[in-house]
Structure 1
């Protein structure tokens, strides 16, 4: 019976099914790709590191670390890497890169891809440099040209396409340049304050239990300011990093699926209304309530099954595009395979969500008496209301469980459910309010066509509510992306005034400071900051040694406080990014008693210290006893140097230190000239040009934004399908209205204008509501999360708003062609068939 009844309504049923296909496709494609990425990262974990495990430190290993490495049979390869400026004599240009000085057969797993291929195996013997391929193209370099690393000039042996241990994202800011290990010392780049990373690579025996090895010597190495990384833990960390992005995309895809399900609920509601006569006849000839309910339940379940299968197949196809969309962001080459878990989830979601969201209108068939159905009279039954509340509870419960499954966090899952409820409620409330306001304050002075189109917004079987919600949510997602991107970029932006630094010079030695400053001022630029930097580590907190704190399993002090090499400074005043919250800032001291230092609030929280507590710092071998004199809130988002630890003047002036200078350059040409001059004279310094950094950040956000747009567009497409379905399911009502108008003398162009105005109203209200709602949410983010002024992007208003409105208008008109073009009698005959 379900099959026979369904055949007569197959066009409507196909539209119901199409409502969830795209949502299922989005969920399956993200789930499948996430599983593939996780499996690839796990299977390629050794290739990502280049070895079985490594020992790394940000300072030269001491005797204890050497002894541990010797007990392991010695390192099979070693590396020193650090950021530095390099010069290209051919083009008189310079670039901030990450120098990697390597000795030994690294990588032992994976490949170092170079052009020519032989360069990766002979660069150490030939004493050549491997330069990042992008840098080679940027500066028109070729094999045989020279690169100046510090005071050393090396020939370029090959272009470097990929190498284990290089992060694709950070490589865009500081691309890798590989040179032989023995050239590091000769380069003259290792100075006081140089930010060096020492890495030692090991090949494990097949019988070695890496996790047991990590448990055995990991804490010992940490006590000596070194770390042991095994390839599995490295891949796990990397997998979690990309897993978070996958969770976000999963939720975006799930919203598209929810929109489709809301479309199903609305369409089934109208579908069941049209089936009231059939339900009544079935009951009159002896069908039970249960039988009539199951007939239509089977139809919806089959729709969900077919939709789930089609959506899953579409999702499996779509996941093939993700390696292209995420090019440059992924740590591995992803081999796409079928993921049975994602396929099962897609089909199950299709059936379950179709039934769940269609359940309430289906339940209505149980409470309809034959007489009520034959008279086509609606009767609100208390039993039906109770059943509706139960179904609504099931829907909310499912949304929460799905979000909890994706996020694995109760609070975040509740937050997602709350966001869904608030967003849909606001859009629904706005739609309902517009209908109510229009009805109460109807513009009687308007012309006939405009009045009729407005009346259509709240006529029987109207779809105003569902259309505004679907259009609004899709528009909300996409426009919110642009506004959020503006917020992120505003955090990294800097002022254009000449008093604000846009270039920072690092690693300047004391004896170079005057000459570097003179080089800057000779180019007519102003020295904005001249900051001394002193490196130090925490020796004890409240007279408890760092090593003892590490061994104390009950300690709540964060590990980074104990292991970090702090770069501190001294001055007699605070800067704009600092605000004292506790204690009093002491600018200068003259005695040798406890030194009152000012610490950042995050340092105080993680070190579990307050004003008056004692901290002893190891300043390059000299112990300095200090007392927490004040705690500061530091605005780390500002593009300037900020410090966790701030000393007063009168303590560190004679300590070994280096300097950081900052200046403002007016344009890219002036920046390039100054950088080239500085690198030629002072090859050891590093230069951060904020313009280049912002350019990299913006490109990265554009790429991520494009992906999110791609996913959010599923919501728009789903909304379009729901719109088509809504128009078709309510077409019978439209046919009667249009035929009546035609009978009364209305012309085709008048009916066309009425329909066009109605869908223009819907498009304008839906898209504008979505944009305004995203504008409000972004403003809240700016005030409460980012705490920054917010200037929204104009793109959603200029492009998204008219595009969505035009799309809604086009669909509405195209689905009403038959009513407009054919004679009234012919239309009525076709509708009665």
Structure 2
């Protein structure tokens, strides 16, 4: 037993020594193997580290994000039941009222849609209310002044002591608001925050019918309160009363999930870059092992076993993968510091980056495991080498069984699926990811293989010498056509898909530049103000495009079940938001251009016993109702029985006023309501002038300039696309590394070809043209395939996911395709320069040495 153990240790020591000696002789080529996976590992590790740091920061700062331990919020004043629950919890430690409104800055006459927040003293209880000057955070309550968003202060050149008019009240500006709980994100970009004292809200006159008010009550937990248990017990009771309870724990978890989704997507993009590098490894190892077959045969002649020769090169590849993992981890740790600067505008706190052991372990394991997995198939070639091959080394070893190849391929697919499942947490998403990757790789690989066969079969014999030779190189022994097309195609596919998809999203939110398309929306116009507001618009030389009445209501009963009963029923199938939502409905007798009938007939008969209504398809689906089902609505205290007479689709992405529920005319005209007016301002100057006049005459009206909203959307998409572009570029960089490695590994084959060509009289510039044309063909094939695949994928996304008309972007065709092709040619020529420039005799001597 002891002798066998000692013998085993000796054998393993010998294997390590042989692997080291052989690897040292091939060090430069092994370094290129490592380069194939370093970028992919760096991308995965950087995003894993950033995601984990983000999750930890959210967990640590969840109280500061909310400013309290928990809160109760509602979009209506508290009912008797809600007030009783608040009192049972010891009463709120602080309250706030929030709503959007127009702010007027008398200093320069400018107006701005802002988010007003009236806050009681003491809040926030956690975190900092960061202002400039610092003392303004404490004094604005005492002096009845306002804190104005710092960006707005800069935008309108405002100083401390200037004034801001909110509704009917003028406030002096105590300071700029730099940072505050709940004042970050996209909504703050559209309606920047202004804080005023809680007791001053009523004097503004902005709390009225139709106003979008948010009432919030903040609490400090005592030592005996279990917040998770409190959420389970109290939240269902508040749901019945159209209120909600959020703890700092649940809010942090929800925010973490939102950012985790984006992080998972970037992880998958990085993982694709890693897979691409592994394809390069498989190709490189294939050539490397072919050149080692004679050495393997010699070792077997000297008595080495199959296991020993196989393990020598397996150890080399595993060591290569480990070293690549280490370098990738180090690069990824540094790279993670880039992401906070890119996403800080959309993070509600200052992100602190720290060391994440899990990401390091993932990087190291991926480096070793994926290198070994993707190298197994070519490594199996050493298993079937015969000692007789010392005399004749076969180019193709056909002894390797199909079962072995399928086993290795199955292991790779299972690993990719497992890693995708670990990232996404859902097996169906992981399966779709694997199937998508397989499809792209199979299409690229299939077209590359088919292209080689077609070129070989229909060889252009009439072409010139350089062109013919470059075509021959595409299917010569040890060609790299397949791996280079994969590398170039996948990188191009990722970047092109991004451009196509971004344009689809922007096209759905774009404001058409026509005089009949609304780009200015007046909200919260009271019934007694609508005629005067319309007159003011016409006096400015513009047309009132829409005058839409809006009535607020809630569902009281669905079919034969009251909403209160449904809320408490844990087995219900009705979506929760239907039961809690305050619907804003209108009445009219026509379909808008964003609406299409799905079922039923338009509810024109308003004399029926039960009022016919039209529902949007998503509301009907979530409420589990069909044409003919009854619904009872609570219209501000009055119950109204209706029947679903019509169901329609609504294109919510169109920049216009859309509604989930529509009543026929002649029913709601006398209900308490407010109005929305729309018009078209020819340019930003005309829009700003009209806004100043309207706000001066109607201080309680809110105005939304859709062009400004679109600028925010474009900015967000632009920043996200930059991040995704940055990650997709890892695929391109990986492709470059694979390209360099592939050319270097086939360099010895090219040396022989170059010597023969030079001996036969070929000049250096002819060999240069041969290389340039070969890489031009490879670059064009890979980029064209990548753009076409992205075109098909984006069309499917537009058709089945975004339900939009697909208009292809010009950027992939005009920018991405030629630039990547040029990059391939430059890299190829740079790698081939030694082969081209060296004289034949020197090359032969060097090769012999």
TM-score by length of 1: 0.98
Structure 1 residue 434 and structure 2 residue 472: aligned? no
TM-score by length of 2: 0.97
* CA distance, structure 2, for counterparts of residue 330 and residue 471 of structure 1: 34
* CA distance, structure 2, for counterparts of residue 362 and residue 616 of structure 1: 71
> How far apart are residue 379 of structure 1 and its match?
4.8
| SS in structure 2 at match of 1:458 | coil
C-alpha change, 1:685 and 1:370, in structure 2 (3 Å) is same
Q: Which residue of 2 aligns with 1:564?
A: 581
Aligned ranges for residues 742-753 of structure 1 at < 5 Å? 742-753=758-769
| Most deviating of 767-776 and 234-243 | 767-776
Cα shift readout 1:257-278 (whole Å, capped 9, x = no counterpart): 0011000000000000000110
Q: Which residue of 1 aligns with 2:627?
A: 611
Q: Which residue of 1 aligns with 2:8?
A: none
Q: Which residue of 2 aligns with 1:737?
A: 753
* CA distance, structure 2, for counterparts of residue 214 and residue 382 of structure 1: 66
Among 75, 83, 86, the residue aligned to 2:100: 83
Q: Which runs of 4+ in 1 moved over 3 A?
A: 378-383
Kept in 1: contact 2:478–2:746 (CA 8 A): yes
Kept in 2: contact 1:76–1:104 (CA 8 A): no
Structure 1 residue 677 and structure 2 residue 697: aligned? no
Structure 1 residue 267 and structure 2 residue 281: aligned? no
Structure 1 residue 480 and structure 2 residue 494: aligned? no
| Most deviating of 228-237 and 451-460 | 451-460
* CA distance, structure 1, for counterparts of residue 748 and residue 353 of structure 2: 47
Q: Which residue of 1 aligns with 2:786?
A: 770
Among 28, 31, 55, the residue aligned to 2:72: 55
Kept in 1: contact 2:290–2:395 (CA 8 A): no
Q: Which residue of 1 aligns with 2:485?
A: 468
How many residues are aligned here? 832
Kept in 2: contact 1:123–1:129 (CA 8 A): yes
| SS in structure 1 at match of 2:345 | coil
Q: Which residue of 1 aligns with 2:810?
A: 794
| SS in structure 2 at match of 1:524 | coil
Q: Which residue of 1 aligns with 2:833?
A: 817
| Most deviating of 416-425 and 327-336 | 327-336
Structure 1 residue 367 and structure 2 residue 384: aligned? yes
> How far apart are residue 757 of structure 1 and its match?
1.4
| SS in structure 2 at match of 1:140 | coil
Aligned ranges for residues 643-662 of structure 1 at < 5 Å? 643-662=659-678
Q: Which residue of 2 aligns with 1:73?
A: 90
Q: Which residue of 1 aligns with 2:655?
A: 639
Cα shift readout 1:702-738 (whole Å, capped 9, x = no counterpart): 1111111111111111110000000000001100001
| SS in structure 1 at match of 2:780 | helix
Among 421, 430, 436, the residue aligned to 2:438: 421
Q: Which residue of 2 aligns with 1:346?
A: 363
Kept in 1: contact 2:344–2:350 (CA 8 A): no
Kept in 2: contact 1:599–1:645 (CA 8 A): yes
| SS in structure 2 at match of 1:195 | coil
Q: Which residue of 2 aligns with 1:250?
A: 267
* CA distance, structure 1, for counterparts of residue 224 and residue 707 of structure 2: 51
Q: Which residue of 1 aligns with 2:639?
A: 623
C-alpha change, 1:745 and 1:696, in structure 2 (3 Å) is same
> How far apart are residue 768 of structure 1 and its match?
2.2
| SS in structure 2 at match of 1:641 | coil
Cα shift readout 1:501-527 (whole Å, capped 9, x = no counterpart): 122111000000000001111111111
| Most deviating of 319-328 and 493-502 | 493-502
> How far apart are residue 642 of structure 1 and its match?
1.4
* CA distance, structure 1, for counterparts of residue 37 and residue 75 of structure 2: 53
Among 133, 138, 162, the residue aligned to 2:179: 162
Structure 1 residue 6 and structure 2 residue 41: aligned? no
Q: Which residue of 2 aligns with 1:585?
A: 602
Among 390, 394, 403, the residue aligned to 1:386: 403
Kept in 1: contact 2:384–2:399 (CA 8 A): no
Structure 1 residue 323 and structure 2 residue 350: aligned? no
Cα shift readout 1:455-512 (whole Å, capped 9, x = no counterpart): 1111110101100110111111112111111011011113222122122111000000
| Most deviating of 332-341 and 372-381 | 372-381
Kept in 1: contact 2:526–2:675 (CA 8 A): yes
> How far apart are residue 588 of structure 1 and its match?
4.2
Cα shift readout 1:61-84 (whole Å, capped 9, x = no counterpart): 112211211121211111000111
Runs of 5+ in structure 2 lacking a partner?
1-17
Runs of 5+ in structure 1 lacking a partner?
none
Q: Which residue of 2 aligns with 1:663?
A: 679
Q: Which residue of 2 aligns with 1:709?
A: 725
Structure 1 residue 599 and structure 2 residue 640: aligned? no
> How far apart are residue 575 of structure 1 and its match?
1.4
Kept in 2: contact 1:276–1:374 (CA 8 A): no
> How far apart are residue 294 of structure 1 and its match?
0.4
* CA distance, structure 1, for counterparts of residue 473 and residue 483 of structure 2: 14
Kept in 1: contact 2:381–2:400 (CA 8 A): no
| Most deviating of 694-703 and 536-545 | 536-545
| SS in structure 1 at match of 2:793 | helix
Among 711, 718, 724, the residue aligned to 2:740: 724
Cα shift readout 1:276-303 (whole Å, capped 9, x = no counterpart): 1100000111111111100000000100
Structure 1 residue 494 and structure 2 residue 511: aligned? yes
Structure 1 residue 300 and structure 2 residue 313: aligned? no
> How far apart are residue 599 of structure 1 and its match?
1.1
* CA distance, structure 2, for counterparts of residue 803 and residue 495 of structure 1: 32
Kept in 1: contact 2:758–2:840 (CA 8 A): yes
Among 447, 459, 462, the residue aligned to 2:464: 447
| SS in structure 1 at match of 2:164 | strand
> How far apart are residue 207 of structure 1 and its match?
3.0
* CA distance, structure 2, for counterparts of residue 729 and residue 617 of structure 1: 74
Among 191, 194, 199, the residue aligned to 1:177: 194
Kept in 2: contact 1:69–1:75 (CA 8 A): yes
| Most deviating of 13-22 and 745-754 | 745-754
Structure 1 residue 333 and structure 2 residue 362: aligned? no
| Most deviating of 49-58 and 748-757 | 748-757
> How far apart are residue 572 of structure 1 and its match?
1.4
* CA distance, structure 2, for counterparts of residue 813 and residue 420 of structure 1: 30
* CA distance, structure 2, for counterparts of residue 282 and residue 35 of structure 1: 48
Cα shift readout 1:402-456 (whole Å, capped 9, x = no counterpart): 1111111111111000110111111112212222222222222221111111111
* CA distance, structure 2, for counterparts of residue 255 and residue 419 of structure 1: 11
* CA distance, structure 2, for counterparts of residue 10 and residue 608 of structure 1: 67
> How far apart are residue 369 of structure 1 and its match?
1.1
Among 197, 211, 218, the residue aligned to 2:235: 218
Kept in 2: contact 1:47–1:110 (CA 8 A): yes
* CA distance, structure 2, for counterparts of residue 663 and residue 374 of structure 1: 87
* CA distance, structure 1, for counterparts of residue 472 and residue 395 of structure 2: 22
